Chain A
Amino acid sequence: EVQLVESGGGLVQPGGSLRVSCAASGFTFSAYYMHWVRQTPGKGLVWVSRINSDGSNPVYADFVKGRFTISRDNAKNTLYLQMNSLKVEDTAVYYCVCYGLGSPAWGQGALVSVSS
């Protein structure tokens, strides 16, 4: 069974940093591109970032470019999103997603709250 489990969410002050992780199981993690998608409270879904299967060529949405870094550790079957210079508007549930398996696989999400 494919599973994606996010962790590392929490409350952080504006300007602060946080790293969320996504532990993958049930498929060959190292073979697939991985994505982060976020959903702000009461709002829609927005794509954040993507990384290739070997960790190369990260791609970012304009609103996080220069602040967020996506990475992965294929030996640990884990995806990361390092978030720096956080803004109040970055408050959201962050989901890791894999689209290469046929049916998209989503985690349950990690809540990141940015507030003073």
Chain B
Amino acid sequence: DIVMTQSPDSLAVSLGERATINCKSSQSVLYSSNNKNSLTWYQQKPGQPPKVLIYWASTRESGVPDRFTGSGSGTDFTLTISSLQAEDVAVYYCQQYYTTPLTFGQGTRLEIK
């Protein structure tokens, strides 16, 4: 199984500051057929299903503010929130959909400092 490891487990950032969450996979999730990384970032708030922020590692979902950016390739990925807003308080997950079993990171809890 591909193990997804996020860091840090929790993060407190001041409003307007940058937040960075890392995700490392135990093996590459790069599809050679389309040269895309099968990596998604989700945001989850209490009582809600996960919301897709980024897919294919760096493609922003329609309607997601451009302060959210996904980057990385192969085994190392990053979600960056360029200027933290109050509504960004949530738990963030990365997930690989390269192969079954699909696997998720353990989650990173983002709070306001």
Contact = CB atoms under 8 A, between A and B. Distances in A.
A96 B16 CA distance: 35
A102 interface: yes
Interface string B69-113: 000000000000000000000000101010011111111000000
Interface residues of A, number: 19
Interface residues of B, number: 21
B49 A109 contact: yes
Contacts of A102: 55-56, 59
A95 B49 CA distance: 8
B17 interface: no
Instruction: Determine which residue in B49, B59, B93 has the highest number of CB atoms from chain A within 10 A of its CB, and name it.
Output: B49
Given A47-B101, A47-B102, A50-B100, A106 B50 contact: yes
Given A37-B102, A47-B102, A104 B49 contact: no
A106 B93 contact: no
A87 B52 CA distance: 30
Interface of A: 35, 37, 44-47, 50, 59, 61, 93, 95, 99, 102-104, 106-109
Contact of B104 (A35, A46, A106): A46
Interface of B: 40, 42, 49-50, 52, 55-56, 59, 61-62, 93, 95, 97, 100-107
Contacts of A93: 49
Given A44-B107, A47-B102, A106 B97 contact: no
B8 to A, nearest CB: 15
A108 B47 CA distance: 10
B106 A47 contact: no
